[in-house]
Amino acid sequence: DAKTTQPTSMDCAEGRAANLPCNHSTISGNEYVYWYRQIHSQGPQYIIHGLKNNETNEMASLIITEDRKSSTLILPHATLRDTAVYYCIVRGYTGNQFYFGTGTSLTVIP
Amino acid sequence: GAVVSQHPSWVICKSGTSVKIECRSLDFQATTMFWYRQFPKQSLMLMATSNEGSKATYEQGVEKDKFLINHASLTLSTLTVTSAHPEDSSFYICSANNRYEQYFGPGTRLTVT
């Protein structure tokens, strides 16, 4: 079962930062937070993942709170192509199954 | 990055027939692959975990005799929907693990008429 909760939808102006929150209050110490996105009728695309520390890559930044009960995905300069459903997933260290929650539908507005 | 392919990308079949969907990891070996189903405007639902050389593990509520999974090699897993019915129409997506990431295929759209 999904262990995350996310807002159903969000809008963001093109060129601005998109901040997508995720709650995972029951996360265990060895569980990772993963973010994927899915553009309509395609397979999910990996964005970023983290355990405790904040992470950054060419696509996004991931901010994890100190108690690890929530996180925020940041797309620094949203473009129209970032319009998608964004999924926050908690993954165990030994188990590889991903249980998807409802995700956040992000719409980037021109 | 690692690539996972699926074939076919879409298929239409008649009620009562069986359909096989292939999932391949193109540039890495995957001892474990996963199958998901996604209905319109819904999230992905994990159906089963496909293990190379052993039986698949099905999620609760998924009929193993209806959704046959075979993982005969480290790069290929197949999902066969047996005796398909219109309610089986859905978007089927596979994924495979490579180190810390799980790579997803592009999905297969199944329509049962």
Q: Inter-chain contact B100–A102, Cβ cutoff 8 Å?
A: no
Task: Kindly state the percentage of chain B with pLDDT values over 90.
Answer: 78
- CB-CB neighbors (< 8 A) of A103 in chain B: 43
Which among A43, A99, A100 has the least Cβ separation from residue B106?
A43
Kindly calculate the radius of gyration of chain B based on its CA atoms and give it in whole angstroms.
13
Q: Inter-chain contact A96–B32, Cβ cutoff 8 Å?
A: yes
pLDDT digits (tens, 9 = 90+) for A2-44: 689 999 999 999 999 999 999 999 888 888 999 999 998 899 9
Q: How confident is the model at residue B101 (pLDDT cuts 50, 70, 90)?
A: confident
Residue in this structure with the two tokens 């996963």, named with its chain if needed: B34
A87: distance to nearest CA of chain B, Å?
9
Q: Inter-chain contact A46–B102, Cβ cutoff 8 Å?
A: yes
Q: How confident is the model at residue A95 (pLDDT cuts 50, 70, 90)?
A: low
CB A33 within 8 A of CB A50: yes
Would the pLDDT of B27 be above 80? yes
With a CB cutoff of 8 Å and minimum separation 6, the contacts of A62 are A33, A35, A48, A49, A50, A54, A55, A56, A71, A72, A73, A74
Q: Inter-chain contact B102–A42, Cβ cutoff 8 Å?
A: no
- Find, among B74, B79, B20, B75, the residue nearest to B47 by Cα: B79
With a CB cutoff of 8 Å and minimum separation 6, the contacts of A10 are A18, A20, A104, A105, A106, A107
Q: Inter-chain contact B46–A96, Cβ cutoff 8 Å?
A: no
Q: What does the alpha-carbon distance between residue B34 and residue B23 come to, in Å, rounded to a whole number?
A: 9
B109 and A CB contact within 8 Å: yes
Nearest chain A residue to B32 by CA distance is: A96
- CB-CB neighbors (< 8 A) of A32 in chain B: 100
Give mean pLDDT, residues B35-40: 96
Q: How confident is the model at residue B83 (pLDDT cuts 50, 70, 90)?
A: very high
Which among B34, B100, B106 has the least Cβ separation from residue A42?
B106
pLDDT digits (tens, 9 = 90+) for A43-89: 999 999 999 989 999 999 999 999 999 999 999 999 999 999 999 99
Q: Inter-chain contact B101–A98, Cβ cutoff 8 Å?
A: no
Give mean pLDDT, residues B72-97: 95
Q: What is the pLDDT of residue B12?
A: 97
- CA dihedral for A58, A60, A66, A68, sign (positive or negative): negative
Would the pLDDT of A1 be above 80? no
Q: Inter-chain contact B107–A43, Cβ cutoff 8 Å?
A: yes
In DSSP notation, A25-70 reads TT--TT-EEEEEEE-TTS--EEEEEESSS-EE-SS-EEEE-TTSSE
Chain centroid to CA B93: 5
Average pLDDT, whole number, for chain B? 93
